[in-house]
Amino acid sequence: MTDKNEWGSNLSFILAMIGSAVGLGNIWRYPYVLYSNGGGAFYIPYIVAILLMGIPFLILEYGVGYNFKSSFAKAVRKINSKWEYLGWFLPVAVFMIMIYYSAILGWDGIYIVLSFFKGWGADPNTYFTTTLLQSSTSMSGLLSFIPLIAVAMLVGWVIIWFISHRDLESGLGKVSKVLVPALFVIMVLIVVFSLTLPGASIGLAELFNPDWSLLGHFEIWMAAFGQIVFSLSLGMSIAFTYASYAKDDADLITNTISIALANSLFENFAALGVFSILGYMSLQSGTAVANLVEQGTGLVFIVYPTVFNVLGQWAYALGPLFFLTVYLAGLTSILSTIEPLSFSIQNKFGLSRSKTMTILIIVGAVISMIYATAYGGSVLGYVDTFINQIALLFGVIVECIVFAWIFNADKLIDFLNSRSRTIKLGKWWMIIVKYILPIFIGIVWIGGMFDVVMQSSFDQLIFTVICAVILLGATLIFTVLPAKNPDWDNAEERV
C-alpha cells in the first residue's frame, strides 16, 4: 500500500461499492415498491430506469471521481473555485444520513439478540412502538432518554470506528471482501428456505401479478426512478469518492454494470423472500397478503417478528439470520456514508484519515443520541424525508450540471472507452446526462418538495427547516474555513 486512500484491488473497489448500494432499501423498500407499482409490469419502468439513469449516471460520477483522484469538495473547487460550496453540500448531506442510519442499525442489533428467544413477545407491534421506542409524537419526548437504544447505537459506532479509522484497504477494503459475499450467501439461504414454506406461492402470485394498465401512469415511472436513485446510492458523492480511490487501470464502465446487476439481483431476490414469507403468513392467519404487506421499519420490526411467532422452531434459525442480514446490509452501506466528508476534510485541512474518522465518528455518535429519545422515531422520519426527497435529488441535479455541463464530461469518453471491456460510450451518454436526467429529476424533485410542504404536519415542517439550516450552515462553515493543506488547490487529473 502506497497511499492510505487507495483500494488494494479492483475487487475491493467493486465489493465496497456493492456494499454501499445493497442496503436497507433493497430489503425493506424494493419489495414493497415492486408490489405496489404494478407487480410484474413494474419491470418495464424499472429496467428503463436502470438503463437510462442508473448506469449512465453512475458512469458519470465514477468517471469524474476517477479523473480527479481527490475528494468531492476538492474536485468541485478545481472545476470552479466559486462553487466549492456545492462540493461540501453533498458530503454533509450524506453524513446526515449516516447519523440516522446508525439508529436503525442499533434497533436491528437489539433484534438480533431478541430473535434468539422471541423477546418481542406475543405482540410485536406494541413491543416495537411502545416498549422499545416508547414512541412519543410530542416534542417533549426529546427529554426521555432510552438507554437500551443508546447502547445499541454506540456498539454500532464502535464497529464503524474500528473499520473506518484504518487505512482504506486494510479497513473498508478487507471488510467488504468478507461481509458483502457473506451477505449474499445468507440471503440465498433465507430465500431458499422461505420458498419452501407452505403458502409461498400465494405471496409470489400476489407480488408478480402484473397490472399492465399502470404503465400509462406517471407515478409508476417516478417510483422506478426514485427507487434506482436510492438503491444505487446515486448522486451522493459516494460513487465519486470510491472511484477516486481506484488504481490507475480500473475499467469503470464494466464495474458500473457489475454493480448495477448485483444490486438488482439482490433486491429481486429479497422480494422473493419477503413475499414468500408473507404468503406463508397469509395462509396461517387467513389474512389477505394485501393486508399484511408493509415496508420500512414496519416490515422488519413488526411483520417479520409476527411471522417468526407463528413459525415454530424454525424461527430460532431464520430470525437471527434475517436480522443479521439486515445488520450486514446496513453496516456496509453506513460505512460508505462517512467517506465523502472524511476525504474532503482530509484534503482541505491536512488531517490524517485516522484522525478525521475518529473526530467525525465522535461527532456523529453524539448527535445520534437524539434518536435514543422517545421522540427519536419521529425525528428520524422527518430527517429521512428531507434528505431523500429534497437534498439528495438536488444533489443529482447539481452533479449533472457541474460534471456534465461545466466540467464537460465528454472529454472522458475516449479515456473510459479505452479501458472498457464491455460497452463503449457514445454521444448518447452525453445526451442522457446533460439533458434527459436533469430535466427528469428536476420534475421528480419539484413533485417531492410539493408533497413535503403540502402533507407535512407542523412539527415536520419545523424539523425540515432545522435540517435545512444545519445542512446549509455546516456546508458554509466547511467552505469558509481556511485550508490548511498546501495541496488544496492542486487537484491532480488523470485525463
Q: Tell me the CA distances in angstroms from 137 to 257, 355, 382, 388, one per residue in order.
A: 44, 38, 12, 22
Tell the smallest beta-carbon distance from residue 104 to ligand PFF (Å).
10
**Best CA proximity match to 13, nearest among 212, 186, 241:** 241
Report d(CA 6, CA 173) in Å as an integer.
9
Comparison of 12 and 241: residue with beta carbon closer to ligand PFF: 241
Q: How far is the CB of 434 from ligand PFF (least distance, A)?
A: 25
Helix axes 147-164 and 315-337, enclosed angle (nearest 10) = 60
Minimum distance from CB of 21 to ligand PFF (Å)?
A: 5
Rounded to the nearest 5 degrees, what angle is found at the Cα of 145, between the Cα atoms of 144 and 147? 150
Query: Smallest distance from the beta carbon of 108 to ligand PFF, in angstroms?
Result: 13
- Residue type (1 letter), 152: A
Minimal distance, residue 27 CB to ligand PFF, in Å: 8
Q: Which is nearer to ligand PFF, 233 or 420 (CB)?
A: 233
Q: Which long-range contacts (CB under 8 A, 24 or more apart) does 115-122 make?
A: 115/305, 115/308, 115/315, 115/316, 115/319, 115/320, 115/322, 115/323, 116/316, 116/319, 116/320, 118/305, 118/308, 118/309, 118/315, 118/319, 120/305, 122/309
CB of 33 to ligand PFF, least distance (A): 11
Give one word for 237, left, alpha or beta, with left for phi > 0 and alpha for psi -120 to 50: left
Q: For residues 90 and 430, which CB has a smaller minimum distance to ligand PFF in the complex?
A: 90
Give me 75's grid cell: 474536485
What is the rounded CA–CA span in Å between residue 189 and residue 273?
10
Where b means 16+ CB within 10 Å and e means fewer, 375-391 reads bbbbbbebbbbbbbbbb
Q: Which is nearer to ligand PFF, 337 or 385 (CB)?
A: 337
Nearer to ligand PFF, 67 or 336 (CB): 336
Cα separation, 86 vs 138, whole angstroms: 35
If the CB atoms of residues 337 and 389 are measured against ligand PFF, the closer one turns out to be 337
- What are φ and ψ of residue 470, in 5° steps? -65, -45
Q: Are 272 and 200 in contact (CB under 8 A)?
A: no
Nearer to ligand PFF, 86 or 94 (CB): 94
As measured in angstroms, the least distance from the Cβ of 179 to ligand PFF is 15
Return d(Cα 151, Cα 369) in angstroms, integer.
10
* Beta carbon nearer to ligand PFF, 7 or 230: 230
Q: Rounded to an integer, what distance in angstroms lies between the CA atom of residue 217 and that of residue 215?
A: 5
Q: Compute the least distance from the CB of residue 45 to ligand PFF, in Å.
A: 18
Q: Which helix (H) or strand (E) holds 215?
A: none
Q: Return d(Cα 13, Cα 242) in angstroms, integer.
A: 7
Q: Which residue in this structure is represented by grid cell 484534503?
A: 347
The three-state secondary structure class of 247 is coil
Q: Do 351 and 345 meet the contact criterion of CB atoms below 8 Å apart?
A: yes
Q: Which is nearer to ligand PFF, 146 or 238 (CB)?
A: 238
CB of 24: closest distance to ligand PFF in angstroms?
4
C-alpha cell at 17: 461499492
C-beta of 21 vs 398, nearer to ligand PFF: 21
- If the CB atoms of residues 56 and 235 are measured against ligand PFF, the closer one turns out to be 235
Name the residue nearer to ligand PFF (CB basis): 259 or 425. Answer: 259
Least Cβ distance, residue 356 to ligand PFF (angstroms): 18
**Under 8 Å between Cβ of 189 and 15:** no
Residues that bind ligand PFF (CB under 6 A): 20-21, 23-26, 94, 97, 230-231, 233, 236, 238, 333, 336-337
Distance in Å, CB of 306 to ligand PFF, minimum: 23
Cα torsion angle, 296, 297, 300, 305, sign: negative
Q: How far is the CB of 265 from ligand PFF (least distance, A)?
A: 13
- What's the gap between Cα 139 and its chain centre? 28
Residue closer to ligand PFF by CB (options 202, 239) is: 239
How far apart are CB 213 and ligand PFF at their closest, in Å?
A: 28
